[in-house]
Structure 1
Amino acid sequence: MPQPLATSPRAAGNLRGAAYMLLVTASFTVGDALIRSAAEQMPLFQVVFLRGLVAMALLGGMAWRSGAFALRIAPRDRRLIGLRSGAEICAMIPFFIALANMPFANVSALLQALPLTLTLAGALFLGEPVGWRRLAAIGVGLVGVLCIVQPGGAGFSAYALLVLLAVGFVTFRDLSTRRIDPGIPAVFLGFVMAVFVTVAAGGLSLLTPWAPVTGAGGLLLVGAGVFIASGYTFAALAMRHGEIGFVTPFRYMALIWAVLIGFFVFGEWPDPLTWIGAGIVVATGLYTLYREQVVRRRRRAR
C-alpha cells in the first residue's frame, strides 16, 4: 500500500501560518463591519472609544499573562512604540470616517495597496534595494488604485482620499514596527496601540453628544472589541508559525471577506472599475512579494 507523504515541519508551519492569516483577515474585516453597524446607532468616535475599552481589557489580560509588563524596554524601543502608536491614531481617524461613508469593499480594496507602499517606503527611507521590476509593479499598482478612486468620474468619493491617507500612516506604522526589538511580544504592542487609539477616540467623542447604548449596540461593541483583539493575536501567531513570503499573500483574502460582507450585510456591490482596480492592486502586490522572495534567495545563495 502507498505510504502517506510526510509533511515537513517547515510545510506544516506554513500551513498553520496561512490558516492564522485567514483568521487575521476575517477578524479585522468582521470587526470593521461591526463598527460600521454600531456607528449607525451611535456617534462614530463613541463607538471606537467603547470598542477600544473592550480591546484594551482583552489585550491587557493577554499581555499580563505572557509576562510582557515585566519586560525592560530600551529607550529607543519606547520611542519607536510611541511613533508606531501615534501613526495608528493618525491612520485611525481618516480610516473610520471613510469606513462610515464609503462602500465597505471599496475601503478594503484601497487598503490592499499597503504591500506596494511598504515596498516603496522601504526603498526610500530604509535603503532597501528595489529592482526595476518591483518599481514597475508599484507603478502599475498605483494605476489600479486610480481605478478604484476614479478621480473626476461619477464614482469618485472624496472619502477615498481619506483611506489613502490612512494607508500612508499605516505604512509609517509598519516601518516603525520593523525597527522594534523582535523580543517584545506582539500582544504588548497591540495593547499599547489600543490604549493610544482609545484615549484619542475618547477625546474626539467629546466633540459630539453621546447616544445611549442599546442592548443590540452593546453587543456590536463587544463583538468589535473581541474581533480586533483576536486579529492582533492571530497576526502574531501567523508571523511566528509561517514564512512571511508564504503567509503574507493570504492577507488579500480580506478583500473577499469585505465583498461578501458588503453584499450580504450592507447591500453593496463594487462597480466594474473597482473590480478592475482591485484586481490590478492584488496582482501587482503578489508579484512584488514574489520578486522580494526571489531577491532574498539570491542573497542567501551568494
Structure 2
Amino acid sequence: MRANPAIAFAVATAGIAVFASMDAVMKAQSLLIGAYSAMLWRTVFGVALSGAAFAVTRPRWPSRIEIKLHVARGAAAGVSVVLFFWGLTRVPMAQGVALTFIAPLIALFLAAVVLRERVGRTAVIASLIAFAGVLVILLGQARAEMGPDAFRGALAILAAAVLYAVNLILLRRQALAARPIEIAFFTNVVFLGVYAIGAPFLLVWPAPGQWPWLAFAAVLATVSILALAWAYARAEASYLAPVEYTAFIWASILGWLVFGERVQPLTVLGAALIVIGCVIAARRSPPPAPSVEAAM
C-alpha cells in the first residue's frame, strides 16, 4: 500500500494519543479491581465491538500464516499490556510511559534483523535524541523516593516494553497481510484467550459504575489499533517507531489532570528532546513499503 509517509506518521501519532487516553482510563480501573481483571473485562467489550465491525465488512477468513501472525502478536501484546498496567498502578503515568520508551529502540533494530529493513543514520540519530530525553526524565524521577513496590512496578513495565517491541515488529508484518479491522478483531480474540486462562483464580467482578468506563476503554483501544494498523501498513516500522515517544506528552497531561501527578522541570526538558527526535524522524524520506509477500 502506498501513502504519503507524513500522513502515516500523523495517523500513528493520533493512534498513540488515543492509546494514552485509554491508559488513563485503565489505570483508574486497575486501581479498583486489578490490572488483570480490568484488561479481561475491557477485552470482552473489545471482542464484541471489533467482532461486530469485522462481521459487517464480510471479510475473507485469514490464511494459516495470517492466523499465526495474529496469535503471535496477540500473545506478546496481551502479556505486555497486563504487565504495563500492573506496573502503572505503582508508578506515576509519566514515569511509567517513559520506561516503555526502550521499546521503539529495540523495535528499530529488530526491524533490521527480522524485517530486513534498512535502518538509516537519521532514524538512529532521531531515536537516540528521543532516548536522551527519556534519560533526562528518569534522572528527574530518580530524585524522588521510590519504595520497593514502585521498583517492582518499574521492572514490570520494562518487561512489558520488551514484549511491546516484539509486538511492533509483528504489527508491521501483520499490517501488510491483513486489514485494520481484522487485526483489531483477532487481537481482542487472542487477548481474551490468553486472559481466560487465569479467570478461575484471578477474576474480580467490577462495580456497576465501572462498566461504562471499561466499555469506553475498549472503544479507545479499538480506535488506536485501527489507526496504528493503518499507519504500519503504509510506512516502515523503523520510520514509525519514534512516534511512540509522543505518548509521554499525553501521559504527563493526563496524569496531572486525572491523578494529580506533578510534572517536574526535568520531565519537561526530556519531553522537548523527545519531540525533537520525533520531528527529525518524521522529516526523513523512508523507502516504499515492501509487498506482503516480502514480509511473510
Shared fold (TM-score greater than 0.5)? yes
Alpha-carbon distance change, 237 to 284 in structure 1, aligned in 2, over 3 angstroms: closer
Q: How does 1:178-257 map to 2 (within 5 A)?
A: 178-180=172-174, 182-208=176-202, 210=204, 212-237=205-230, 253-257=246-250
Moved more, 278-287 or 57-66: 278-287
1:44 aligns with 2:38: no
| In the alignment, structure 1 residue 154 sits paired with structure 2 residue 143 | yes
Of 146-155 and 170-179, the range deviating more from structure 2: 146-155
Structure 1 counterpart of 2:79: 90
Pair 31,115 (structure 1): closer, same or farther in 2 beyond 3 Å: same
Q: TM-score, normalised by structure 2?
A: 0.78
Match of 1:129 in 2: 118
Q: 1:35 to 1:135 in 2, by over 3 A?
A: closer
Q: Equivalents in 2 of 1:248, 1:87: separation in Å?
A: 17
**Alpha-carbon deviations, 1:70-101, whole Å to 9, x = none?**
3341x333322222112112312321111222
**Deviation larger for 212-221 or 48-57:** 212-221
Residues 104, 242 of structure 2: 8 Å contact kept: no
Cα deviation, residue 61, structure 1: 0.9
Residues 257 and 140 from structure 1, CA distance in 2 versus in 1: closer, same or farther, beyond 3 angstroms? closer
What is aligned with 2:262? Answer: 269
Q: Is the 8 A contact 1:113 1:285 kept in 2?
A: no
Whether contact under 8 Å (1:106, 1:274) holds in the other structure is no
Relative to structure 2, which stretch is displaced further, 141-150 or 255-264?
A: 141-150
Q: Secondary structure, in 3 states, of the residue corresponding to 2:287?
A: helix
Match status 1:24 vs 2:15: yes
Post-superposition offset of 1:236: 4.2
Could you tell me which amino acid in structure 1 is paired with residue 19 of structure 2?
F
Q: Which runs of 5+ in 2 are unaligned?
A: 289-296
Cα offsets for 1:120-152 (capped at 9, x unmatched): 222344443334454444444444333334499
Residue 280 in structure 1 maps to residue 284 in structure 2: no
CA change 1:259–1:289 in 2 (3 A) is same
- Counterparts of 1:286-301 in structure 2, within 5 Å, are 286-291=279-284, 293=285, 296=287
Measured at CA, do residues 262 and 35 of structure 1 come closer, stay the same or move farther in structure 2, by a change above 3 Å?
same
TM-superposed CA distance for 1:50, in Å, is: 0.7
**Which residue is equivalent to 1:117?**
106
2:242, 2:277 within 8 Å by CA — same for their partners in 1?
no
Q: Which segment drifts farther, 174-183 or 95-104? A: 174-183
State whether residues 49 and 202 of structure 1, in contact with CA within 8 Å, keep that contact through their aligned partners in structure 2: yes
Change (3 A) 1:54 1:43: same
Tell me: CA distance 1:19–1:175, structure 2 relative to 1, closer, same or farther (3 Å).
Answer: closer
Question: What's the CA shift for 1:255?
Answer: 3.1
Matching residue of 2:61: 71
Determine the C-alpha separation between the residues in 2 that align with 1:45 and 1:53. 12
Identical-residue share of aligned pairs (%): 22
TM-score normalised by length of structure 1: 0.76
5+ long unaligned stretches in structure 1: 1-9, 298-302
The secondary structure found in structure 2 opposite 1:71 is coil
C-alpha distance in 1 between matches for 2:12 and 2:130: 23
